[in-house]
Chains A and B, each alone.
Chain A
Amino acid sequence: MQSVLAVDDSASIRTLVSHVLEAAGYQVVLAEDGREALEFARDNDVDVVLTDINMPNLDGIGLIKALRTLPNYKFTPLLVLTTESGHEKKMEGKAAGATGWIVKPFNPEQLISTVGKVIA
């Protein structure tokens, strides 16, 4: 089963993401912020990481930068969840090493198809 590490400080978004992705047949690991996600990632591989940007302790951009320095995450697709429709935040994510983004609000189908796109 393919696994997704979903990182968001909002419990409702976390629940939504895990419900949707689990229904689509993924194994989902949840983390509340970048620091928790990074701790998990140090010892565990996943097939894709999905992260919010604005989070306490370690934000999404910081998480992506840190993950890209881990050998086992060098070629893992990293997606940011962003409410910013503007170019700037997306590019900030890209510059940090993100593969792509999902713009909130997203519907379940969009989430599944986007994750499906990077996990071939």
Chain B
Amino acid sequence: MAIDIDLAEIAQLFIEESMEGLDIMESGLLNLDLGDADTETMNSIFRAAHSIKGGGATFGFMEISNFAHHVETLLDEMRQGDRPVTKDGVDLMLQSVDCIREMINSLADGDVDTTRADELEIDLAKMLGSDASPDPADVTEAAADAASESPGAPIVGWEIKFEPHPGILKSCNDPLRILRELRKLGELEVRSIGASKLLLGEFDPEECHVAWQMTLHGGIALEQIKEIFDWVSDECELSIDPIRDENAPQPPAEVVKESTEDTVTPPPKPAAKKASKSSSSSQDGGSIRVNIDKVDALINLVGELVITQSMLSRFNSDFDFTQIEQLREGLTQLSRNTRELQESVMAIRMLPISFAFSRFPRLVRDTGNALNKKVDLQLVGETTELDKTVLEKIGDPLVHLVRNSLDHGLETPEARVAAGKPETGILQLNAYHEGGNIIIQVIDDGAGINKDRVLAKARERGIVGPDEILSDEKINNLIFMAGFSTVDQVSDLSGRGVGMDVVRRNIGDLGGTVSVKSETGVGSTFTIRLPLTLAILDGQLVRVGSQSYIIPLISIVETIQTNDEKVNEIVGKSELFKLRDEYLSVLRLYEMFGVQADSTRIDDGLLVVAEANGHRVGILVDDLLEQQQVVIKSLEANYRQMPGISGATILGDGTVALILDVPGLIQLFYERNADVQNNVHQVA
């Protein structure tokens, strides 16, 4: 029977499932109490390893399966209680989890690198106290069977005596099925023997009291016959004896050889190849697992949309003005449907932040160990949802912030005790929604930022002028400046050349902001504010002459009306205005983009105070229009990249509005007025 199954697609499912399994293993291992492991946790860890082993072999990923087999063996001993759960054991298991994860990831490249697995296998074997034989046991078994077939004259048939136990039918092994199977191998003569207890009174129809003597003709391999009786070997008396043709001159080497080949079935090679190939391609595209409720909601909404459409289409053929009220109603319904549909579609891309948080228990444990610090990690708001793209990209900045808090924030147990704090420090990751944004906080109860050192460093680097007085908040946020690191001795953890400025830039690329609040001796709180999605943006529509632009709301601090008198012109084009205790540059949008404005006077326009990367500017526009959600269209894909512009959108009237890239715009502005930044310091 030819079966055409797309193994590749299912193999992809296996890969996703294994990744989830590895996460389960990892979090389970991290939660284990040494010496007193929870049985259910142990079982779930074991099952995950077991599934990876079984699935790996089934889908042709033998390297993974073989390695998982060793892991499983060790886990099984722990789970059965034969082996105590030690820290070393857990550490080795965690390394193995990483190793399997790497192997699965490398499937996409086509080749699995087993170097690490081979090394770990040695460790595993040591722990298991035996040599982990690379050959599965059954191969040797089969070989032994083959060898036991004594050489001699060629086999031309078999004498088989089969006496089932009376209870054989209870396991649903029908002896007649076995006879039928044997017939498939060759010509079979069957003689019934010893129908023992056929007295009517004692006859039990659920028992078997018949036995058979059979002769099977043909040079059939013993293995094939044994396989048929495999399931009932414990439920019958069986003897299988060869019938040899003593007259034949040929030695029987071939028969023996054949039998080994039959029993050791190689994994389906072509299928496996195909599977790994296509898994790589589909991984590039990325898939998403969607809760069925979300899909149902979507289908439901599409249904409603169809109803609305059919209701509106009535007006297409005959419309008179008496129906205007109905038409208006229909349009209202349509807009409601559209909004709900948009929300539902966006919801599909939304995933809980636990996907990003899940790696931290492990990371905090390892980092804490390396630094000899005691840390209690608390995760809050793990179910908070955000866009998958944002989720994927926020991982690295978060890791950096967490490492930073562990390295620079939390003190050593001794220092904590000396400061009158509990020995174990608290690191909290907190996520929640606020407006159209998601807020992620990394909170520690450590020493806080050393403001004097930060300020001294900033002066030394020329980031802050020598006489400049800064608020505490400003000093704290200096750590996000490029090339800033207060740690003189570069540790291999957070001081690896990637500074907080990179964190801020990465978050900025996602349209978000990061800031820090810190109190000496009490701790620090890093706050990341991100848009929920990258596909839609809350924007403020502004007008400059005949052009409309959109400024992302997240960048806008406030909008003010000021007058020319309050603006100091310093050198050439650079203008500053004073907003409370701060001097801000005036960024004339019409100048930046070379368009015609209604008026070039600051009195006639409005200043939109926008902030990015710690810089604030006042963007001069002619007028503020409405605030609205806009769908972001890529300018790069449709035209080309433009400095200061992050994308475009289509407005309700069909015109195109450009979306301002505030960080890029500010940078562009400073480049054009290279001396402006220095002037800010002089004035301040």
- Chain A interface (Cβ within 8 Å of chain B)? 9-13, 15-16, 19-20, 23-24, 52, 54-56, 68, 74-78, 81, 83, 85-86, 91, 94, 97-101, 104-110, 112, 117-118, 120
B8-21: CB near A (< 8 Å → 1, else 0) gives: 00110110010000
Interchain CB contact under 8 A, B4 and A54: no
B270 → chain A closest CB, angstroms: 11
A11-B17, A83-B53, A101-B231 are known contacts. Are A55 and B47 too (CB-CB below 8 A)?
Answer: yes
In the complex the two chains form, what is the Cα distance from A116 to B286 in whole Å? Answer: 38
- Residues from chain A with a CB closer than 8 A to the CB of B571 are none
- Considering only CB atoms, which chain A residue lies closest to B4 in the complex? A23
Q: Are B268 and A107 in contact (CB under 8 A)?
A: yes
B54–A104 CB distance below 8 A: yes
- Return the contact of A108 from the options B3, B138, B180 (Cβ within 8 A): B3
B46 within 8 A of A: yes
In the bound complex, do residue B54 and residue A83 qualify as a contact, i.e. CB atoms below 8 Å apart?
Answer: yes
| Complex Cα–Cα for A93 and B50 (A) | 17
Of the listed residues A55, A85, A104, A106, the one surrounded by the most CB atoms of chain B closer than 10 A to its CB is A104
Q: Is B57's CB within 8 Å of the partner chain A?
A: yes
Report the minimal beta-carbon distance from B168 to chain A, rounded to whole angstroms. Answer: 10
Q: Does B267 contact A (CB under 8 A)?
A: yes
Q: How far is the CA of A90 from the CA of B677 in the complex (A)?
A: 77
- 7 residue pairs, one from A and one from B, having the closest CB atoms: A100-B231, A105-B57, A12-B14, A85-B138, A105-B58, A12-B13, A99-B172
Residues in B156-177 with C-beta less than 8 Å from chain A: 169-174, 177
What are 6 sample pairs from A and B whose C-beta atoms fall under 8 A apart?
Answer: A9-B47, A10-B14, A11-B17, A24-B1, A94-B234, A107-B265
**Binary contact readout B262-296 vs A (1 if CB under 8 angstroms, 0 otherwise):** 00010110010000000000000000000000000
Beta-carbon contacts of B216-238 to A below 8 Å, as 1s and 0s?
00000000000000110011000
Q: Taking A99-B173, A107-B271 as given, write out 16 further A-B residue pairs in contact, using a Cβ cutoff of 8 Å, ordered by the A residue number.
A: A10-B17, A11-B13, A12-B17, A12-B55, A12-B58, A12-B59, A54-B46, A54-B47, A75-B169, A83-B53, A85-B136, A98-B171, A105-B54, A107-B268, A108-B5, A120-B174
In the complex, B667 has a CB within 8 A of chain A:
no
A20–B3 contact, CB under 8 A?
yes
A75 to B167, CA, bound (A): 12
Is B65 close to A, CB under 8 A?
yes
Q: How far is the CA of A99 from the CA of B167 in the complex (A)?
A: 12
A60 to chain B, nearest CB (A): 12
Does B261 belong to the interface (CB within 8 Å)?
Answer: no
Do the beta carbons of A118 and B177 come within 8 Å of each other? yes
Instruction: Output the least CB separation between B20 and chain A (Å).
Output: 9
Among A12, A85, A105, contact of B10 (Cβ-Cβ < 8 Å): A12
The verdict on A117 contacting B181 (CB below 8 Å), with A24-B1, A105-B65 known, is yes
Query: Distance in Å from the Cβ of B260 to the closest Cβ of chain A?
Result: 16
User: Shortest beta-carbon distance, A72 to chain B, in Å?
Assistant: 13
Taking A23-B3, A83-B57, A85-B136 as contacts, is the C-beta distance between A99 and B231 under 8 angstroms? yes
Residues of B within 8 A of A100 (CB): 173, 230-231
Kindly state the interface size class of chain B when it binds its partner: 35 or more
Asked if A12 and B53 sit within 8 Å, CB to CB, the answer is: no
B51 at interface (Cβ–Cβ under 8 A)? yes
CA distance A69 to B442 in the complex (A): 56
Q: Report the Cα distance A94→B172, complex, angstroms.
A: 10
- Asked, given contacts A100-B173, A117-B181, whether A85 binds B234 with beta carbons under 8 Å apart, the answer is no
Which single residue of chain A is at the shortest CB-CB distance from B177?
A120
Partner pick for A13 among B46, B55, B137, B170, CB 8 A cutoff? B55
- Which of A19, A23, A91, A101 sits near B234, CB closer than 8 Å? A91
Alpha-carbon distance between A101 and B265 when the two chains are bound, in angstroms: 16
Supposing A54-B46, A101-B231, A112-B3 touch, asked if A15 and B172 sit within 8 A by C-beta, the answer is no
Q: With A54-B47, A86-B137 in contact, is A112–B55 under 8 Å at CB?
A: no
List the B residue with the shortest CB-CB distance to A68.
B170
Chain A residue with Cβ nearest B141: A85
Chain A residues lying within 8 Å of B51, measured Cβ to Cβ, are 9-10, 13, 54
Question: Residue B562 at the A interface, CB < 8 A?
Answer: no
Q: A85-B136, A100-B173 are in contact. Are A56 and B43 (CB under 8 A)?
A: yes
Distance from A77 Cβ to chain B, minimum over Cβ atoms (Å): 5
Q: Is the CB of B172 within 8 A of A75?
A: yes
Task: State whether the Cβ of B114 lies closer than 8 Å to any Cβ in chain A.
Answer: no
Bound-state Cα–Cα, A30 to B43, Å: 22
Cα–Cα distance between A16 and B7 once the two chains are bound (Å): 8
A77-B172, A94-B231 given; A10·B55 CB < 8 A: yes
Pick the residue among A16, A55, A86 that contacts B58 (CB under 8 A).
Answer: A16
Cβ of B44 < 8 Å from any Cβ of A? yes
Chain A contacts for B235, CB-based, 8 A: 94
Shortest Cβ distance from A76 into B: residue? B172
> Which one, B7, B17, B137, B180, contacts A85 given CB within 8 A?
B137
A109/B1 in contact, CB under 8 A: yes
**Chain A positions within 8 Å of B173 at CB level:** 99-100
A30 to chain B, nearest CB (A): 13
A62 to B136, CA, bound (A): 28
**Chain B residues whose CB sits within 8 angstroms of the CB of A97 once the complex forms:** 170-171
B142 to chain A, nearest CB (A): 10
When chains A and B are docked, how far (Å) is the Cα of A20 from the Cα of B271? 14
A55–B50 CA distance with the chains assembled, in angstroms: 10
B1-46 at interface with A (beta carbon < 8 Å): 1, 3-7, 10-11, 13-14, 17, 43-44, 46
* Separation of A105 and B235 alpha carbons in the complex (Å): 26
Partner of A56, one of B6, B44, B138: B44
A77 CA / B59 CA spacing, docked (Å):
26
A11 to B531, CA, bound (A): 34
Q: How far is the CA of A110 from the CA of B268 in the complex (A)?
A: 11
Residues of chain A within 8 A (CB-CB) of B181 are 117
- Residues of B within 8 Å of A76, CB to CB, are 172
Chain A nearest CB, measured from B616 CB (Å):
51
